[in-house]
Amino acid sequence: MAWDFETDPEFQEKLDWIEAFVTEEVEPVDVLVGHYADVKNPNYIKLVRPLQKKVKANSLWACHLGPDLGGQGYGQVKLALMNEIIGRTVIGPSIFGSQAPDSGNAEILAHYGTAEQKERYLAPLLNNEISSAFSMTEPQGGSDPTILQATATRDGNFWVINGEKWFSSNARWAEFLIVMAQTDPEGPPHERASMFIVPTKTPGVEFVRHVSIASFDKDGSEGYLRFTDVRVPADHLLGGENKGFAVAQTRLGGGRIHHAMRTVCRCRSLLDMMCRRVASRFTQGESLSRKQMVQEKLADSWIELEQFRLLVLRTAWLIDKHKDYRKVIGDIAAVKAAMPKLQHDIAVRALQLHGSHGVSDEFPFVQDVVASFILGLADGPTEIHKLSLARQMLKRYPTTSDVFPDYHLPQRRERALAIYGDLLDPT
Ligand SMILES: Cc1cc2nc3c(=O)[nH]c(=O)nc-3n(C[C@H](O)[C@H](O)[C@H](O)COP(=O)(O)OP(=O)(O)OC[C@H]3O[C@@H](n4cnc5c(N)ncnc54)[C@H](O)[C@@H]3O)c2cc1C
């Protein structure tokens, strides 16, 4: 019977290498290098490129990809365990070739790009020579992609795109965008839009603003973009006309699991900081660690973290088992919906236990609290993922016209008597 929680020794060796590498070489770079998408920045080139070489030399580059694209084709459980370590740093995913949104965009290009597009966009993207962005959300709506307003109309051998996009992460550094636009506004809601490659330098692509997330996002990493008569060649349509929703699904599968394990890792760091703080902070005659309300915070954090970790690993295991994301949609939605609350609750406790230090910008906690809200918005708000989970759950429950269901006690008793009634003493 296969039911165990151990990593095989061969893969454990790789995890041990990653652990030492991240601790000794990646973590110091994390506090020095600029934004991870600014791949042409001289500091990025000096600090990140040598580390990427080491990862490649250890055959750990872009492990989520199949061997045809230079990866290892690792299953989701292995990737989850790797991301649990890599996620301790912001720059880590770039050093291991799996940073968002490039990893998802690469999946789209690998599936739907022409040979020429793979050479022009995919190859340099996989090599982290360029970065990219994904433009779906618009200023008037994000949760419901059926109400998008940007349009693409065919004009000879070109598509002409008009409209606005909001919160396109990393767009300011992107060589190209993958843009969703309506190609059949009168069609059924999920067959109205298509996906396009749009090189950022195409005439008509305008940055209205670089929007910042709170005050710590000094770069303004979220692009507010306007498209005015932007012409892209006809073959820059990805995955067929009006197939934008199907294409969008391509990029979400494993990415959510990797993100969840990076969150586990981040929360473990926060819990570690909490423990270190209370172990050595002294107040009102004793160590903070002796106060029961403090101990409860630690225990709650540990329990919530381990519960979530098991949910994520079980989901990863199910993906590997079924090899079909559609069979695990509900589990993936559960992971996505549970993730923001985990980080929020642990970050808030860590902030509180660090007192005034906790709210200062010399510690990471305020950023972690904001990050927990980002987890609940980016890639769709929590409410939508809960709806998706509930829909999957309810598929197993057909409606019935019986007013009294079979779990109604009188019915249960009747059935039980039919089986065991003869054995009972008459009353
Ligand atoms: C840091 C960050 C990065 C992002 N990066 C990208 C990116 O790269 N590309 C991109 O296209 N988009 C990106 N987004 C946008 C993200 O996908 C949207 O913010 C998200 O889908 C919500 O859309 P909205 O902001 O328009 O909110 P709205 O659609 O206006 O929704 C507002 C709120 O209403 C509630 N709500 C919505 N629907 C329901 C419902 N059915 N039931 C109950 N409550 C509901 C939720 O609380 C939701 O947060 C990013 C967002 C963030 C915060």
Task: Spell out the SS3 assignment of 93-132.
Answer: HHHCCCCCCHHHHHHHHHHHCCHHHHHHHHHHHHCCCCEE
pLDDT digits (tens, 9 = 90+) for 74-104: 889 999 999 999 999 999 999 999 999 999 9
Is residue 101 lining ligand 1, measured as CB closer than 6 Å?
A: yes
Distance from Cα 49 to the centre of ligand 1, integer Å? 34
- Nearest in space to 380 (alpha carbons), one of 389, 369, 368: 389
Ligand 1 contact via 378 beta carbon (within 6 Å)? yes
At residue 253, does pLDDT exceed 80? no
Q: From the CB of 364, is ligand 1 less than 6 Å away?
A: no
Query: Has residue 400 got a pLDDT over 90?
Result: no
**Average pLDDT rounded to a whole number, residues 305-330:** 94
Which residue is it, tokens 């919160």?
167
Question: Per-residue pLDDT averaged across 101-112, rounded?
Answer: 91
Centre of ligand 1 to C-alpha 381, Å, is 5
Query: What's the pLDDT at 328?
Result: 93
Confidence of residue 250 (pLDDT cuts 50, 70, 90): confident
The pLDDT confidence band at residue 252, using thresholds 50, 70 and 90, is: low
| Digit-coded pLDDT (tens) for 128-184 | 999 999 999 999 988 998 889 999 999 999 999 999 999 999 999 999 999 999 999
Q: What does the pLDDT average to over 271-285? A: 96
Q: Which residue has the higher pLDDT, 66 or 311?
A: 311
Q: Residue 66 has what pLDDT?
A: 83
Say if residues 18 and 92 touch (Cβ distance below 8 Å). no
| pLDDT value, residue 184 | 95
Q: What is the mean pLDDT of residues 246-272?
A: 88
Q: Give the model's confidence band at 207: pLDDT under 50 very low, under 70 low, under 90 confident, else very high.
A: very high
In this predicted structure, what is the pLDDT of residue 389? 97
Rounded to 10 degrees, the C-alpha dihedral 300/301/305/306 comes to -50
> What is the best residue among 35, 90, 167, 382 to mutate for testing ligand 1's pocket, by most ligand atoms within 8 Å of CB?
167
Does 358 have pLDDT greater than 70?
Answer: yes
CB of 142 within 6 A of ligand 1: the answer is yes
374 close to ligand 1 (CB < 6 Angstrom): yes
pLDDT at 71: 81
The full set of domains in the chain, from first to last, is: 9-99 (1.10.540.10), 132-241 (2.40.110.10), 252-394 (1.20.140.10)
pTM of the shown model: 0.93
Mean pLDDT check: name the lowest of 149-163, 170-184, 191-205, 400-414. Answer: 400-414
Contacts of 16-25 with C-beta under 8 Å, sequence gap 24+, read 17/58, 17/60, 18/60, 18/82, 18/85, 18/86, 19/85, 21/51, 21/54, 21/55, 22/85, 22/86, 22/88, 22/89, 22/92, 25/51, 25/54
